[in-house]
């Protein structure tokens, strides 16, 4: 048998043609290489989303990848456009953008006239095999002759010969060449069932209803060349190679260019950056230390210039200058806090006096990854930053990075079950069970273990299909804040499409794609605590003779640290979760660097790496600290010999093995990879060789490497922890010294944080902050402060806290009141122009009490309000208003929760105390000894089940005296799942667990007592 002819696949859809393709781009490229294809074109529908992933795999496999896209025109024409060269790539990318921008997210629209300017690039026309093809063939022949082919797919469908006859006729009549084009949707025939299911999901019907809307057989896969030879004329296979030979574009040809606006005319980029950094250094450092830090700036800028990143820093600097000029609070974080240049540009706030900055963790010559500066802005004002970027650079040159939303077990089970005809309730139940859907064999075992009949072919199909579907892209979403800004039109680099959110556009690549191609993005993120801090400062300054700012806050306040050590941190940034609160009394932070450690140590990595308890024992002086030598001691002494930070890994490798910082970081990154490949093995050998050269014994070298490897996978960036620790301290200080202002700011910034307003207000009361009820005669829209005679402040609840009441209604009340006070209810009703529903929201909340008396009275009068407009607007009422009885205390509390989500009256549990039997009070628990058995009943405030907790659930319960931390082991969670997840009022039998000052309740039996609450609705905040 002679050699088989070569072949290039010119028509291939990946799973990024959402629900049209059943294989990942990497699977398709790898399979094409294994089969001996000369090239493979990735031609997703009006999309370049899969190109970068396919490009990386093509480089690994040594196969040519052709960039292209399939388009369905408004007249039914189907054409594939292939990038013959860089100019053609730009034209196709622009065409995708133009087509996508015409429609809402997920759609596109294109017509023949859009190809008028498509003067470069190749076309593969996919005919319809009917008379409509004649006009299309004529149009293509007139406009694109010499670079257009008819693409034909043959699939053993019984129509292959008639298809060939038709395309040969078109070819002869219109001078169009013919090539094989396989309309590939999957890399393997085995994906046929999944492709059919995806089709049903896309159409929103069950699989038994799809009929002829699925392919008649499974031939739409990457077929072996032997099979292609048996069906295609050899000339058509050879023609595919001619097309492929003309396509010489590679994604490596793309070049990112910074926007020209950020550069000063006639000035070198590096000089411009240096001048700005020098100016900042003079503000940041004293005269004694300025020389040292200017030298460090020069060293950093030297590498920045070498790698061509000056424009990136200037682009970020421009954005933060806008923020500062508009008094928008922000802070840079992440590895950027390792840069003195970033600190001197006022991008970051972590001083080199507080941490030993390691610039190579941020930018490395060896790694040569683009720098990544994350900037957090106030969450309520980030939109101003986004619109500034759009206004400055235009939507043609700026867009948000995509985030690929993939199928996870819940969504995969739901979608597959629906098309297979599984009842919705059973599908939901299947997801709630502990089933390992990622592996079909494991899923089948788990399904059997819960008593399901696996003779059912439907359940077997479900298991296999779900396991295949998990990880597939569902759709593109927008990244939390990553902007790509370019000098030339962005759509020539990557297609742009509309996001689901109005006034948003996003590119079709995610952050990993950008990193692969060296394209830089600026991360403009949001952080609620920055909003809270600004609002707190503004409230304090309303009544302050001397202007207060963050610079007024000392970093060594003993009262603040005392509060932190007691875990009195409800509402404090980062250290308000159950896990953090449990750690605080054990670690007992007493300095800023202790907070850096606190932020880093309560993470999955240190826990899984068994580093938490050794650190705590050493801190308590119960475990001896032993260092192998002084060089290691210098690196680890600050964390008591326990490696916690990524920067420590890098420094260890440099001092004991002679690595450069860049090589050490590359080794660290290789340790975090799930697959230890050639890079890891090479660096290991180099590490051991380096230690040998420095005189270390082989056994000691092996032990050292294994220790580094042991914590290399979980180390936390010290610079990132240091950035967050600043905000931890500032928010703690404000809570400690300005509790009323801080609580009001938290309430005015909702929704955010770990706790609902009810818990924030309960906590404020425990700190002796007086709370004044919402009142239409006195409340503003926001919660505000009222100064008391003793100089302290009370919080007046604002109108914004009333459920269902909009800003416009609140504004009308405040505006009318500002003209002159309301004299009575009729005056209020007539001058505020509120609708009946708005009035009912006010009456239900108790905001009208001061005008009309009790809640019953207010509700009655609000029901009498007519939605009057036009002729009857302002007409008074003559009804006689009856006097109604005062609301009972329980009714008041229930109405408060219904209308506000909290109560300023008695806690619900205090009203139920007589019905709770022997339930112990929360305030008593800390005094009980280890293993004491108790019954506790409380409102469910927070449920949390971190993935790192191995199935353990943590629940915060609240009664009228405080909160209790409840721990529920996996087996008990499984047994009582429905009770635990649904209960608003939960009764628990359990035992006390003590560890120093930390007290938890270990649950053993659970009872849902929500029925005692009657109409009261107390919602929890649940986290994973």
pLDDT exceeds cutoff 80 at 249: yes
Position 872 scores a pLDDT of 42
What are the residues facing 785 on neighbouring strands? Answer: 795
Report the pLDDT value the prediction gives residue 671, as an integer from 0 to 100: 73
Mean confidence (pLDDT) of the chain: 90
172 and 8 in contact (C-beta within 8 Å)?
no
Q: What is the mean predicted confidence (pLDDT) over 607-617? A: 81
pLDDT exceeds cutoff 70 at 445: yes
Residues in the chain: 1024
Using CA atoms, how far apart are residues 683 and 650, in angstroms rounded to an integer? 13
d(CA 947, CA 961): 31
Per-residue pLDDT band for 924 (boundaries 50, 70, 90) equals very high
Mean pLDDT across the stretch 882-906? 78
Distance CA 828, CA 816 (A): 8
Is the Cβ–Cβ distance between 715 and 645 less than 8 Å? yes
Tell me how far apart the terminal alpha carbons of the chain are, to the nearest angstrom.
Answer: 60
pLDDT tens by residue, 114-161: 999 999 999 999 999 999 999 999 999 999 999 999 999 999 988 999
CB 304 within 8 A of CB 270: yes
pLDDT of residue 461: 87
Burial of 406: CB neighbours in 10 Å, binned 0-12, 13-18, 19+: middle
Q: Mean pLDDT, to the nearest integer, of 586-594?
A: 96
More confident of the two residues 3 and 83: 83
Provide the angle, in degrees to the nearest 10, between the axes of the packed helices 661-672 and 678-693.
130
Contact between 598 and 587 (Cβ < 8 Å): yes
Whether residue 454 has pLDDT greater than 70: no
Considering the chain, what percentage of its residues have pLDDT values greater than 70? 93
pLDDT band at 364 (very low <50, low <70, confident <90, very high): confident
Q: Which range, of 248-262, 410-424, 613-627, 798-812, averages the lowest pLDDT?
A: 410-424
How many other C-beta atoms can be found within 10 angstroms of the C-beta atom of residue 591? 13
Strand order in the sheet with 784-787: 771-772, 793-796, 784-787
- Beta strands per DSSP E along 411-567: 473-485, 496-498, 505-510, 522-527
Model pLDDT, residue 879: 53
Q: What does the buried/exposed string (b/e) look like for 500-535 if buried means 16 or more CB atoms within 10 Å of the residue's CB?
A: eeeeebbbbbbbebbbbbebbbbbbbbbbbbbbbbb
Token pair in block for residue 738: 């300005």
Residues 956, 965: contact at Cβ < 8 Å? yes
Determine phi and psi for 282, rounding to 5 degrees.
Answer: -65, -25
994: left (phi over 0), alpha (psi -120 to 50) or beta: beta
Backbone angles phi, psi at 400, to 5 degrees: -85, 145
Q: Taking the CA of residue 407 as centre, how many other CA atoms within 13 Å lie in the half-sphere pointing to its CB? A: 27
Question: Which pLDDT belongs to residue 424?
Answer: 66
Residue 851's pLDDT band (boundaries 50, 70, 90)?
confident
pLDDT at position 1? 42
* Range of lowest pLDDT (44-53, 90-99, 399-408, 543-552): 543-552
Contacts with 291 (C-beta within 8 Å, 6 or more apart), sequence order: none
**Range of lowest pLDDT (66-75, 287-296, 442-451):** 442-451
856: tokens are: 């019953």
CB 75 within 8 A of CB 112: yes
- Burial environment of residue 41 by CB neighbours within 10 A (0 to 12, 13 to 18, 19 or more): buried
Is the pLDDT reported for residue 306 higher than 60?
A: yes
Q: Are 574 and 724 in contact (CB under 8 A)?
A: yes
146 φ/ψ sector (left φ>0, alpha ψ -120 to 50, else beta): left
Summarised one tens digit per residue, pLDDT across range 6-33 is 899 999 999 999 999 999 999 999 999 9
192/109 Cα distance (integer angstroms) = 29
pLDDT for 733 beyond 50: yes
Neighbours of 792 (CB within 10 A): 13
Give the burial class of 776: count Cβ atoms within 10 A of its Cβ; 0-12 exposed, 13-18 middle, 19 or more buried. buried
Q: What is the mean pLDDT of residues 332-352?
A: 94
Tens of pLDDT, residues 459-491: 888 889 999 999 999 999 988 889 999 999 999
Please report which helix (H) or strand (E) contains residue 405, including its range.
strand 398-406
195-199: average pLDDT? 97
**What is the arithmetic mean of pLDDT over 711-716?**
66
Query: Residues 882-909: what's their mean pLDDT?
Result: 79
Banded pLDDT at 422 (limits 50, 70, 90):
confident
Q: Which residues contact 787 (CB under 8 A, 6 or more apart)?
A: 543, 793
Among residues of the chain, what percentage have pLDDT more than 90?
Answer: 67
Q: What letters, b where the CB count within 10 A reaches 16 and e where it falls short, cover 226-249?
A: eebeebbeeebbbbbbebbeebeb
Say how far apart CA 433 and CA 415 lie, in whole Å.
17
Q: Which residue has the tokens 């990524």?
A: 646
Token representation of residue 79: 């054409």
Q: What are the pLDDT digits (tens) for 68-106?
A: 999 999 999 999 999 999 999 999 999 999 999 999 999
pLDDT per position as a tens digit, 528-562: 999 999 999 999 999 877 788 888 899 999 999 99
SS3 1008: strand
DSSP type of residue 223 = -
């Amino acid at each position: 048998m002679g050699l088989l002819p070569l072949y290039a696949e010119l028509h291939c859809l990946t799973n990024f043609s959402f629900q049209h393709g059943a294989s990942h781009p990497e699977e398709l490229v790898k399979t094409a290489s294994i089969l001996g294809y000369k090239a493979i074109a990735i031609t997703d529908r009006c999309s370049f989303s899969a190109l970068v992933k396919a490009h990386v795999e093509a480089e690994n496999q040594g196969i040519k990848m052709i960039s292209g896209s399939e388009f369905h025109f408004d007249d039914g024409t189907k054409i594939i456009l292939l990038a013959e060269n860089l100019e053609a790539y730009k034209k196709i990318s622009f065409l995708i953008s133009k087509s996508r921008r015409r429609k809402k997210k997920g759609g596109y629209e294109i017509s023949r006239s859009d190809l008028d300017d498509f003067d470069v690039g190749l076309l593969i026309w996919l005919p319809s095999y009917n008379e409509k093809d004649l006009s299309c063939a004529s149009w293509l022949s007139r406009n694109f002759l010499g670079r257009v082919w008819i693409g034909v797919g043959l699939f053993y469908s019984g129509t292959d010969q008639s298809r060939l006859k038709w395309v040969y006729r078109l070819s002869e009549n219109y001078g169009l060449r013919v090539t094989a084009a396989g309309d590939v949707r999957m890399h393997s025939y085995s994906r046929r069932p999944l492709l059919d299911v995806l089709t049903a999901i896309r159409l929103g019907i069950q699989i038994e209803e799809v009929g002829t809307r699925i392919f008649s057989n499974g031939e739409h896969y990457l077929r072996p060349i032997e099979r292609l030879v048996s069906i295609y004329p050899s000339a058509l296979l050879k023609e595919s190679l001619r097309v492929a030979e003309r396509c010489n574009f590679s994604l490596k040809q793309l070049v990112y260019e910074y926007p020209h606006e950020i550069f000063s005319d006639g000035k070198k980029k590096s000089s411009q950056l240096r001048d700005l950094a020098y100016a900042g250094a003079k503000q940041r450092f004293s005269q004694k230390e300025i020389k040292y830090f200017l030298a460090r700036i020069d060293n950093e800028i030297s590498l920045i210039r070498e790698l061509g990143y000056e424009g990136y820093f200037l682009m970020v600097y421009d954005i933060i200058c806008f923020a500062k000029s508009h008094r928008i609070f922000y802070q840079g974080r992440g590895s950027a806090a390792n840069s003195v240049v970033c600190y001197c540009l006022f991008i970051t706030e972590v001083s080199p006096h507080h941490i030993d900055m390691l610039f190579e963790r941020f930018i490395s010559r060896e790694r040569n990854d683009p720098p990544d500066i994350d900037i957090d802005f106030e969450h309520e004002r980030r939109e101003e930053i986004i619109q500034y970027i759009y206004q400055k650079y235009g939507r043609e040159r700026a867009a948000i990075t995509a985030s690929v939303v993939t199928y996870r077990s819940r969504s995969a089970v739901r979608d597959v079950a629906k098309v297979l005809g599984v009842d919705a309730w059973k599908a939901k139940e299947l997801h709630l069970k502990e089933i390992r859907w990622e592996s079909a064999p494991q899923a089948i075992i788990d399904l059997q273990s819960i008593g399901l009949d696996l003779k059912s072919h439907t359940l077997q199909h479900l298991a296999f299909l779900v396991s295949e579907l998990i990880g597939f892209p569902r759709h593109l979403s927008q990244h939390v804040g990553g902007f790509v800004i370019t000098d030339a039109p962005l759509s020539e680099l990557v297609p742009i499409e509309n996001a689901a959110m109005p006034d948003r556009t996003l590119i079709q690549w995610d952050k990993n794609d950008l990193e692969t191609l060296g394209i830089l993005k600026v991360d403009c993120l949001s952080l609620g605590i920055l909003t809270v801090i600004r609002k707190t400062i503004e409230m304090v300054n309303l009544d302050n003779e001397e202007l207060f700012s963050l610079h007024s806050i000392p970093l060594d306040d003993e009262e603040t640290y005392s509060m932190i050590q007691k875990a009195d941190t409800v509402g404090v940034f980062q250290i308000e979760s159950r896990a953090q609160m449990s750690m605080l009394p054990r670690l007992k932070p007493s300095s800023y660097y202790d907070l850096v450690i606190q932020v880093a140590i309560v993470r999955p990595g240190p826990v899984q790496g068994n580093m938490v308890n050794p650190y705590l024992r050493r801190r308590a002086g119960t475990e001896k600290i032993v260092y192998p030598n002084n060089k290691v001691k210098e690196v680890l002494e600050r964390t008591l010999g326990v490696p916690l930070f990524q920067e420590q890994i890098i420094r260890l490798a440099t001092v004991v093995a002679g690595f450069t910082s860049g090589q050490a970081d590359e080794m660290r990154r290789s340790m975090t990879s799930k697959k230890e490949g050639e890079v890891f093995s090479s660096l290991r050998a180099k590490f051991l060789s380096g230690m040998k050269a420095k005189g270390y014994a082989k056994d000691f070298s092996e032990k050292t490497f294994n220790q580094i490897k042991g914590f290399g996978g979980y180390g936390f960036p010290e610079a990132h922890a240091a950035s967050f620790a600043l905000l931890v301290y500032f928010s703690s200080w404000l809570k400690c010294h300005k509790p009323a202002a801080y609580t009001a700011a938290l309430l005015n910034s909702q929704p955010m944080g770990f706790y609902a307003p009810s818990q924030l207000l309960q906590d404020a009361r425990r700190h002796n902050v007086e709370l004044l009820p919402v009142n239409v005669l006195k409340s503003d829209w926001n919660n505000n402060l009222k100064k008391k005679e003793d100089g302290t402040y009370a919080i007046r609840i604002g109108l914004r806290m009333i459920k269902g009441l909009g800003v416009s209604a609140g504004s009308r009340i405040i505006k009318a009141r500002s003209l002159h006070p309301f004299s009575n209810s009729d005056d209020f009703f007539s001058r505020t122009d509120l609708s009946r529903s708005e009035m009912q929201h006010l009456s239900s909340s108790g905001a009208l009490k001061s005008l009309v008396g009790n809640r019953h009275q207010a509700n009655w009068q609000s029901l009498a309000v007519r939605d009057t407009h036009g002729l009857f607007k302002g007409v008074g009422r003559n009804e006689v208003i009856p006097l109604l009885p005062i609301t009972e205390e329980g009714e008041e509390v229930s109405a408060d929760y219904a209308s506000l989500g909290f109560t300023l009256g008695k806690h619900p549990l205090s009203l139920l105390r007589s019905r709770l039997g022997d339930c112990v009070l929360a305030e008593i628990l800390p005094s009980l000894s280890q293993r004491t058995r108790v019954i506790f009943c409380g409102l469910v405030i927070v449920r949390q089940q971190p993935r790192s907790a191995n199935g353990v659930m943590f629940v915060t319960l609240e009664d009228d005296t405080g909160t209790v931390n409840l721990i529920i082991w996996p087996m008990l969670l499984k047994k009582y799942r429905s009770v635990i997840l649904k209960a608003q009022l939960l009764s628990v039998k359990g035992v006390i667990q003590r560890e120093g000052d930390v007290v938890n309740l270990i649950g053993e039996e659970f009872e849902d007592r929500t029925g005692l609450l009657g109409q009261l609705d107390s919602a929890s905040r649940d986290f994973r």
